[in-house]
């Protein structure tokens, strides 16, 4: 086999050896336990959204519902519904950010957990101090950076998209999880 | 891997390590500047390589290098210093006052620059981003001819940037003005009728540029840029103008990024040099330009 010429290898060398830098902080079961510690069962309740439902979610939240399928679990204790556990992905600056939200049956945020974060800046989104700002929020709240959710310099796009994402999940709950 | 490939691979690895870093003020485009601020306390460095080639007649190849380090003083205000280099190989073309003869050297230090950037609006936080970039520079080589020439420049431009589709689609535009004061240095043995004025000259250039880029898959952006420049002198008014446009590709990893842009000159105007037939501005510009930018975050 002939050796690959240097002029081919040069551009390839620039881009090919991209290091795997995704930081997977939590698995889905770990996040479920953190958000619903008292639950004894998580029932798969994944939803497939119709175009009308996606439109309704967008109308309620003001945020585009990118995905047609959404990973959802019912968190239960002794057969009683504790809330909804939803895994979502939002656009980060370079890659998707994977996070989970716990929602109460009456439409409040119980908490959020970052599962996978791949960006250069903004690892503070994992800090409890930042994530606590979502607790208790409902769809009636503004969900605006520097208003009811603090911004993290250098990770503004990530903060904004996670904030919008949580608001969208509250709308999704109203539209399909009632 | 043969010896030649290994040499280039080692050289490239060294360049990546030595070229400094950047990401928050990440260069999504080769020519259009973005309005993302550099966070307070963050450092950011970039290494640019710009190849310029083709003036229709003769042979013209030039390589500009720019090494820049930027620091975020606040979340809205950053400052940078840059160091420029020039390599040139030109022959077979002389243009009065602009190209006094053949020149050939691989690389020489050519200039320095200090700049500040202030963000009035942040693209991800506000409806759109708006920043102002202002720089002062001094070059002791003329990047067009490769001969000695003292050039002092002041440049300021506004940067607008907007995210669409949650940030997957990025649009940016720049509008700016640059004022130059240039003094050519004496050259021995010029032809007797060759024009090479040694008195200082003032020139004002207005630039407008725009770019659009889309994240096709994670980490990869593909887009296009357009760059317009018009140059004015006090005596002749608009002296020349040019319009460049081309594709750009950008890859960003966590700690570094790279952007490659091809910007051929589509059309240009103003006084051509004697014998020029292309409808382009080739006195101070070239037909082709390719820019490679590398940033490493630290």
| ipTM for the predicted complex | 0.76
CA distance A17 to chain B (A): 10
Q: How confident is the model at residue B224 (pLDDT cuts 50, 70, 90)?
A: very high
Domain that residue B72 falls in: 3-297
pLDDT at residue B174 tops 90: yes
Q: Cβ(B232)–Cβ(B265) under 8 Å? A: no
Name the pairing type of β-strands B237-252 and A41-44. Answer: unpaired
Q: Does A43 touch chain B (CB under 8 A)?
A: no
Q: How many helices (H) and strands (E) does chain A have?
A: 5, 7
Mean pLDDT of the B226-235 span = 89
Question: Average pLDDT over chain A, rounded to whole?
Answer: 85
Looking at the partner chain, which of A66, A119, A153 has a beta carbon nearest the beta carbon of B75?
A: A153
Question: How far are the Cα atoms of A60, B12, B218, B221 from residue B253, in angstroms, in the given order?
Answer: 35, 17, 10, 12
Mean pLDDT of the B133-155 span = 97
Contact assignment for A118 to B163 by CB distance below 8 Å? no
**Nearest chain B residue (CA) to A5:** B5
Cα A157 off chain centre by: 13
Q: How confident is the model at residue B3 (pLDDT cuts 50, 70, 90)?
A: very low
Q: Cβ(B283)–Cβ(B240) under 8 Å? A: yes
Q: Which of A50-59, A109-118, B139-148 has the lowest mean pLDDT?
A: A109-118
- pLDDT for A55 equals 97
- pLDDT for B85 equals 97
**Nearest chain B residue (CA) to A95:** B218
Residues 6 or more apart whose Cβ sits within 8 Å of residue B94? B100, B101, B191, B194
pLDDT digits (tens, 9 = 90+) for A64-78: 998 899 999 999 999
- pLDDT for A3 equals 41
Q: Does A126 touch chain B (CB under 8 A)?
A: no
- pLDDT for A4 equals 39
- pLDDT for A121 equals 63
pLDDT digits (tens, 9 = 90+) for A1-35: 344 344 333 444 444 434 334 577 899 999 999 99
**Nearest chain A residue (CA) to B250:** A15
pLDDT digits (tens, 9 = 90+) for A112-130: 999 988 766 666 778 888 9
- pLDDT for A10 equals 40
pLDDT digits (tens, 9 = 90+) for A136-157: 999 999 999 989 999 888 788 8
pTM of the model: 0.83
Question: How far are the Cα atoms of A151, A160, B126 from residue A146, in angstroms, in the given order?
Answer: 6, 10, 10
- pLDDT for A14 equals 41
Name the pairing type of β-strands A23-24 and B220-233. Answer: unpaired
pLDDT at residue A87 tops 50: yes
Find chain A residues with C-beta within 8 A of B294's C-beta: 14
- pLDDT for B127 equals 85
- pLDDT for B218 equals 84
Mean pLDDT of the A163-169 span = 96
Residues 6 or more apart whose Cβ sits within 8 Å of residue B159? B33, B34, B35, B117, B129, B130, B131, B132, B133, B172, B173, B174
Q: Which of A82-91, B10-19, B44-53, B243-252 has the lowest mean pLDDT?
A: B10-19
Burial B208-243 (b: 16+ CB within 10 A, else e): ebbbbbebeeebbbebbbbbbbbbbeeeeeebbbbb
Cβ neighbours around A46 below 10 Å, total: 11
Find chain A residues with C-beta within 8 A of B165's C-beta: 64, 91
- pLDDT for A25 equals 84
Q: How confident is the model at residue B147 (pLDDT cuts 50, 70, 90)?
A: very high
Share above pLDDT 70 across residues of chain B, in percent, rounded to a whole number: 91
Q: Does A9 touch chain B (CB under 8 A)?
A: yes
CA distance A155 to chain B (A): 8
Which of the two residues, B205 and A121, has the higher pLDDT score?
A: B205
CA distance A119 to chain B (A): 6
pLDDT at residue B11 tops 60: no
CATH number for the domain that contains residue B11: 2.40.160.40
Reduce the DSSP state of residue B63 to 3 states and report it: strand
Report residue B26 as tokens. 């990440």
Q: How confident is the model at residue B32 (pLDDT cuts 50, 70, 90)?
A: very high
Looking at the partner chain, which of B122, B167, B258 has a beta carbon nearest the beta carbon of A14?
A: B258
* Cα separation, A143 vs A137, whole angstroms: 8
Mark out chain B residues that contact chain A at CB-CB < 8 A.
1-2, 4-5, 7-9, 12-13, 16, 23-24, 26, 37-40, 42, 75, 122, 124-125, 163, 165-168, 215, 218-219, 251-255, 258, 260, 294, 297
- Number of structural domains found in chain B: 1
- pLDDT for B26 equals 85
pLDDT at residue B5 tops 70: no
């Amino acid at each position: 086999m002939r050796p690959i010429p240097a002029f081919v290898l040069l551009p390839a060398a620039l881009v090919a050896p991209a290091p795997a830098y995704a930081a997977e902080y939590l698995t889905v079961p770990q996040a479920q336990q953190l958000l619903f510690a008292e639950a004894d069962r998580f029932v798969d309740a994944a939803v497939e959204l119709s175009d009308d439902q996606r439109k309704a979610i967008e109308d309620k939240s003001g945020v585009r519902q990118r995905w047609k399928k959404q990973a959802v679990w019912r968190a239960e204790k002794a057969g009683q519904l504790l809330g909804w556990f939803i895994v979502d992905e939002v656009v980060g600056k370079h890659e998707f950010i994977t996070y989970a939200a716990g929602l109460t049956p009456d439409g409040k945020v119980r908490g959020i957990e970052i599962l996978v974060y791949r960006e250069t800046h903004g690892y503070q989104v994992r800090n409890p101090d930042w994530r606590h700002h979502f607790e208790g929020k409902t769809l009636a709240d503004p969900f605006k950076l520097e208003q009811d959710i603090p911004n993290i310099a250098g990770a503004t796009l990530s903060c904004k998209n996670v904030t919008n994402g949580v608001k969208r999940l509250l709308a999704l709950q109203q539209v399909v999880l009632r | 891997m043969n010896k030649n490939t290994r040499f280039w691979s080692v050289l490239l690895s060294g360049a990546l390590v030595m070229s400094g870093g950047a990401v928050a003020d990440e260069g999504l485009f080769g020519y259009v500047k973005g309005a993302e601020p550099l966070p307070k306390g963050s450092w950011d460095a970039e290494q640019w390589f710009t190849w310029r080639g083709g003036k229709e007649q003769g042979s013209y190849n030039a390589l500009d290098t720019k090494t820049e380090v930027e620091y975020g003083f606040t979340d809205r205000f950053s400052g940078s210093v840059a160091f420029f280099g020039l390599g040139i190989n030109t022959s077979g073309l002389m243009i009065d006052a602009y190209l006094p003869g053949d020149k050939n050297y691989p690389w020489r230090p050519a200039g320095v620059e200090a700049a500040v950037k202030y963000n009035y609006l942040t693209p991800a936080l506000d409806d759109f981003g708006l920043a102002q970039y202002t720089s002062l520079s001094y070059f002791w080589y003329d990047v067009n001819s490769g001969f000695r020439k003292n050039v002092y420049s002041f440049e300021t431009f506004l940067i607008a940037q907007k995210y669409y589709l949650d940030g997957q689609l990025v649009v940016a535009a720049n509008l700016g003005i640059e004022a130059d004061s240039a003094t050519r240095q004496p050259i021995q043995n010029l032809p007797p009728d060759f024009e090479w004025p040694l008195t200082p000259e003032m020139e004002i250039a207005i630039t407008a540029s725009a770019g659009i880029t889309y994240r096709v898959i994670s980490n990869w952006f593909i887009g296009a840029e357009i760059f317009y420049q018009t140059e004015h002198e006090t005596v002749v008014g608009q002296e020349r103008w040019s319009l460049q446009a081309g594709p750009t590709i950008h890859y960003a990893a966590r700690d570094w990024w790279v952007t490659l842009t091809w910007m051929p000159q589509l059309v240009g105007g103003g006084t051509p040099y004697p014998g020029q037939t292309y409808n382009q501005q080739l006195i101070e510009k070239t037909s082709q330009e390719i820019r490679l930018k590398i940033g490493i975050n630290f």
